[in-house]
Amino acid sequence: MLKFLVFVLGTATALLILKYRLFVKDVIGNVGFAEKYFGTGGTHTLVIIIALIVFLASLLYSTGTLTALFKGPLALIFGL
């Protein structure tokens, strides 16, 4: 049940970030490295990427894939 709740909240958060990305950009201002590497409007692109990461992380957690990754291939990197 908790995993389903995480998925629903993660999806809702990602959708809200996408819907209000102009407001989020106004709150955080221009991000220097995003403007440098993504070009003009790079901060908007970074906000979209963050929303995508939030959605994918909640999806991976809810399906158990994220836990399997941290116990399997990534265990060597993170020392688990």
What mean pLDDT do residues 42-62 have?
A: 94
In degrees to the nearest 10, what's the CA dihedral of 34, 73, 57, 22?
Answer: 0
Span 3-47, pLDDT tens digits: 899 999 999 999 999 999 999 999 998 998 998 998 888 999 999
| Residue (of 58, 63, 51, 53) closest to 10 by Cα position | 58
pLDDT for 80 equals: 58
Question: What is the arithmetic mean of pLDDT over 69-77?
Answer: 76
- The structure's pTM equals 0.82
